[in-house]
Structure formats: C-alpha cells, structure tokens
A and B are shown apart, each in its own frame.
Chain A
C-alpha cells in the first residue's frame, strides 16, 4: 500500500459519494481485500470468523460514509472502523482481546481473497421485513439491478431503492447492537 494507492482510494470514495457507482464498487472491492488482510492478521485465535468482521466493516463504512471528511485521507478512517468492528466482534463472543491500537503494520496489509462459509449476515438478513429481505437478496445474492428487481416484484424503482436502503441500515444497526454473534 503506497501513498499513491491511498490517494487513489480517497479519489474513488469522493467519486462514490458524488454518486459514481462504478467507483464505489471498485473502492469497496479494494477495501474489502485490505480489511480482510488486516483482520486475519489480528485474529490469531479462533472464535471469530474474519470474513464476518470484513462484512460488518463494509456495512459500517457504507452507512457511516457521511462521517468521512473528504479532505482527509480515507485509509485511517477505514482502519479505525475495521478496528472498532473487530473489537466489537471479540467482545460479543466474550473474549478478552489484545489489539495494538497504534499498529502501523495495518498500513502494509496485503489484499487477500475471501474464504466461504456460513455468515452472520445471513442471520441478520432473516431479521428484516419480508419486502426488505427479498429486495436485498435479489440485488445481492441474485445480482439483479435495481430495474430488474423492480420488474421482478412489480414495484417502482424508488420503492426498491427505499427497501434496499432501509434493509441495509437495519442490518448494520443489528450488528451494532450485537444481536448477531454466535452466542
């Protein structure tokens, strides 16, 4: 991770906030890989699935993106959220944690690919209203566009966007309240 990469990520995020979906997808994929590397390095003992923390972090980044100051660099903001979500995941599972708050190694985290398993987010999805759940599933798992989803359910695109937005906010909120740990 170089200063140039970081500047590029900040640029992508600014474009995303301005409404550029392509830039946002690019940003999220690159951030997911970085956060995955960071989280895997921090989780030395079992009990917490790194990919769950990656997904919670991405959701938090999404619903809290208005807290990023566009004149600041984006990575310290991303890692502060990732660290918070990691500590939260440990706390939910009742583990004592030791995390170096000023670990500079995170700056050099290498991108890493995902491992597949059952996810906390699936449980979170179950807590949504039926309409929100079907819209979120259609857009994510089935990979449909907003327009295709609207056609599938016979509702307007605006209604799809509202359900999607509220559904994502509800999932993020449930994670925040710690209701989806593996108790």
Chain B
C-alpha cells in the first residue's frame, strides 16, 4: 500500500472519536480510588480509634507521605503517557515524598530513645502491611496499566513503574488508615518495600503489556 493510499484510509476515519487522554486519566484515577476503597473496606477497614488517632502528628504524617507520592506520580504518569510532553518538572516532583519521609525519620530518631528504634521500626503489623498494600493496589495498577495502553508512552517500562508507584501511593493511603504503626521508621521501611513491589510489577507490566 502506498503512503498516499494509507492517508486516504486514515482520512476517511477522521470522524471516529476517542476520549481525550487527559479526561480519561481523571476517570481512571476515580475508578482506581473506588476500587481501592472497596477492597480496603471489605478486608481490613479503618482502625477503630481512627478519630482519636487523627489528632496525632505521626498518624497524620503517614497520609502526607502517601498522598504526596500519589499526587506526584499522577502528574508524572500523565506526562509519560503523552508523546513529546516535558517530564522534567514532574520527574523532579517525585523526590518530594521520599524527602518528606527522610525528614520525618531524622526527627523520629531525634525524639525517640535509641533503645526503642528497633521496636518502632519492626512494629506489629509488617506482614499485614506488606500483604495488604499490594493487595489494595493491584486493582488500581491494572487500571493504570490499561490507561498506559490507551495513551502512548514512549518509555513503557518507566511509565509502568510509575503506574506502580501511583497505585502504591493510593493503596498506602488507605492502608495507613488501618495500620497502628505510625512511626516514620516503620513507614520508611515496610511501606517502601510494599510500594516497591507494586513498582516492580508495574515495570513488568509496562514491558510486556504496554505495546502500541
């Protein structure tokens, strides 16, 4: 087929419509949040003393970390799924969440006696944490990988990993409402590992599933 003939066919299909990628991403984010919420509420649910805990700094700080991660990953993944879109600023934004966690860890080490560092870090829930963050995040990850297929990421593996970070940030936000271990030492260790699992799955999904 000559290129001019191909253009005739594309032109004849000019009226076919698809939802703009930007709107589709917002819908996907909504669907992912609902999916995560359903899994969360059907399995572990929020901790019973949620209202009382909401007055403590450590409890609240967990949501700052996870929400900042989700928001920065959302900005980056939208840029990565658009060919030619600048990604520098969104990429730099990904430092925010780890930086906040690092600051919180330093503060925690300053105020907590050294003898307690171990118990704070190990906590009481680490297996639940490492199981449920991926479990809550797997549905959102599937939605985000599907969105990457709908988009046009020129770096599919990186975009897939960011999809995992986004799913991880979202899942960890819900999980944080359940978990009794509020120390930044616990969060920096186990949340990070759980979210890294999703990022790895996302990168694999990007490699093998996101083709266009």
Contacts and interface: CB of A to CB of B under 8 A. Distances in A.
Nearest to A119: B1
Interface string A154-183: 000000010011001000110011100000
A161 B11 CA distance: 11
A177 B210 CA distance: 9
B15 A161 contact: yes
Interface residues of B, number: 32
A25 B13 contact: no
Contacts of B151: 64, 67
B158 to A, nearest CB: 13
A58 B14 contact: no
B84 interface: yes
B110 interface: no
Given A140-B1, A176-B211, A83 B154 contact: yes
Interface residues on A, range: 35 or more
B84 A58 contact: no
B29 interface: no
Interface string B57-90: 0000000000000000000000001111100000
A29 B85 CA distance: 24
B150 to A, nearest CB: 8
Contacts of A58: 3, 6-7, 10
Contacts of A165: 13, 16
A58 B5 CA distance: 12
Contact of A84 (B3, B18, B20, B154): B154
Interface string A74-116: 0011111101100000000000000000000000000000101
A55 to B, nearest CB: 6
Contacts of B6: 55, 58-59, 121, 140
B47 interface: no
B58 to A, nearest CB: 41
Contacts of B55: none
Contacts of A47: none
11 contacts: A16-B14, A59-B10, A64-B212, A72-B84, A77-B82, A77-B83, A114-B2, A139-B9, A141-B1, A161-B12, A168-B13
Interface of A: 16, 19-21, 24-25, 28-29, 32, 51, 54-55, 58-60, 62-69, 72, 76-81, 83-84, 114, 116, 119, 121-122, 125, 136, 139-141, 143, 145-146, 161, 164-165, 168, 172-173, 176-178
The 3 A-B residue pairs with the shortest CB-CB distance, nearest first, are A80-B84, A80-B83, A76-B84
Interface of B: 1-16, 18-22, 24, 81-85, 151-152, 154, 211-212
